[in-house]
């Protein structure tokens, strides 16, 4: 039986991209499929990104018969088998929000995906002086010192486009980030034939309108697929336990194992090596302050629920 990957789910239909000899067909139409009723009985739900076994039906459509094992599964956005999360944050319009960036990084670390930080709209900074903590160089050096890969891009000039294309090749990636940072514009720059809808930034609100309405895998010409997802203006920590938070700040790890107390919150305990590292400048102050903010937010929510 033929197999493929679900590239779109809409109105009860699954659109399957066929595979041949274990490789996705680089061209050709998708097969519009329904899912078998057995999935509902099993409590299963096919997701965009799922590798599936399907069969052709008499009406020229198809039927998803079997879901193959998943390598990963995201709750929000609902996508399976993603390998790389590309977090897009603009330097200007809207201004870079490091607190929100760190919040996204916590969620991505919790999901177990590889991360690529993509700083967009670099062209808007040309000739403009910024505070040191708002500069591209500062942000890039900060997150690279932690262990993240950071790319600086501009859809207008094409800066960073080829490097990004290389990172997206032969894998499923998810694009995410604050609304209005240029996700659709950057995808259009990578693949002009996509012609994704873009919207101007609301200068009054400092953010963009959401232009993406559903999760869909878009095919690149290098074997890669990208899930362009609805923009987020906020995230919550309902699916994350407060005791897991410090593990999502990857620079804490080498110090946390040597704290005096097991289960150290890294907030006030004596003998806390994370606090010592922060005081010694080995952990960035902004990162630690965001950790405290998130920890407090999670504790407050736990008390309310």
Q: Tokens standing for 36? A: 């078998």
Residues 256, 223 share a domain: no
Residues 117, 23 share a domain: no
Query: Which of 180, 196, 228 is where one domain is finished?
Result: 228
Q: Tokens standing for 123? A: 């062209």
Q: What's the pLDDT at 52?
A: 95
For residue 75, being part of any structural domain is answered with no
Q: Tokens standing for 150? A: 């950071």
Annotated binding site for GTP: 120-123, 177-185
Residues 91, 210 share a domain: yes
d(CA 254, CA 277): 10
Tens-place pLDDT, residues 192-218: 666 555 444 333 334 444 444 567 888
Total number of domains in the chain? 3
For 56, other C-beta atoms within 10 Å of its C-beta total 13
Annotated binding site for Zn(2+): 259, 264, 266, 272
Q: What's the pLDDT at 202?
A: 35
Residues 101, 58 share a domain: no
**CA–CA distance from 280 to each of 148, 245, 286 (Å)?**
21, 22, 14
Residues 300, 209 share a domain: no
Residues 248, 223 share a domain: no
- Which of 114, 124, 113 shows the shortest CA–CA distance to 159? 124
Question: Taking a C-beta distance cutoff of 8 angstroms, is the pair 62, 56 a contact?
Answer: yes
Give 62's strand partners.
33, 56
Instruction: For the chain of 305 residues, list the mean pLDDT of each consecutive stretch of 10.
Output: 90 89 67 91 90 92 94 82 90 84 91 90 60 75 96 82 91 82 75 56 38 71 77 60 93 95 93 97 97 92 65
Question: Where residue 184 sits, what CATH number does that domain have?
Answer: 3.40.50.300
Radius of gyration of the chain (CA): 21
Annotated binding site: 120-123, 177-185, 259, 264, 266, 272
Q: In terms of DSSP bridges, do strands 114-120 and 84-90 run parallel, antiparallel, or are they unpaired?
A: parallel
Task: Quote the domain boundaries for residue 257.
Answer: 242-304
Residues 199, 264 share a domain: no
Tens-place pLDDT, residues 145-196: 999 999 998 777 778 889 999 999 989 998 887 777 767 777 777 776 665 5
Q: What's the pLDDT at 49?
A: 93
Residues 184, 106 share a domain: yes
Query: 182-218 burial by CB neighbour count: b if 16+ within 10 A, else e?
Result: bbbbbbbbbbeeeeeebeebeeeeebbeebbeebbbb
User: pTM of the predicted model, to two decimals?
Assistant: 0.81
């Amino acid at each position: 039986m033929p197999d493929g990957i679900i590239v779109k789910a809409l109105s009860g239909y699954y659109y399957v991209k066929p595979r041949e000899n274990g490789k996705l067909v680089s061209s050709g139409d998708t097969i519009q499929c329904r899912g078998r009723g057995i999935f509902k009985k099993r409590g299963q739900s096919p997701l965009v990104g799922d590798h599936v076994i399907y069969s052709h039906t008499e009406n020229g459509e198809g039927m998803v018969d079997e879901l193959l094992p998943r390598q990963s599964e995201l709750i929000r956005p609902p996508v399976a088998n993603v390998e790389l999360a590309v977090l897009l944050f603009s330097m200007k319009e809207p201004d870079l929000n490091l607190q929100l960036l760190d919040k996204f990084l916590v969620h991505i670390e919790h999901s177990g995906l590889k991360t690529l930080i993509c700083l967009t709209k670099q062209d808007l900074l040309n000739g403009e002086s910024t505070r040191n903590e708002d500069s591209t160089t500062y942000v890039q050096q900060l997150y690279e010192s932690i262990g993240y890969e950071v790319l600086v891009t501009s859809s207008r000039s094409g800066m960073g486009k080829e490097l990004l294309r290389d990172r997206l090749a032969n894998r499923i990636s998810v694009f995410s980030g604050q609304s209005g940072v240029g996700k659709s514009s950057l995808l259009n720059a990578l693949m002009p034939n996509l012609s994704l809808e873009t919207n101007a930034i609301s200068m009054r609100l400092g953010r963009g309108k959401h232009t993406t309405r559903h999760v869909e895998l878009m095919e690149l010409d290098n074997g890669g697929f990208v899930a362009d997802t609805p923009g987020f203006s906020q995230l919550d920590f309902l699916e994350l336990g407060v005791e897991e938070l410090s593990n999502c700040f990857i620079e804490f790890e080498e110090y946390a194992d040597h704290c005096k107390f097991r289960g150290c919150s890294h907030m006030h305990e004596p003998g806390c090596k994370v606090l010592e590292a922060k005081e010694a400048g080995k952990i960035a102050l902004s990162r630690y302050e965001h950790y405290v903010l998130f920890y407090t937010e999670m504790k407050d929510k736990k008390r309310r629920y």
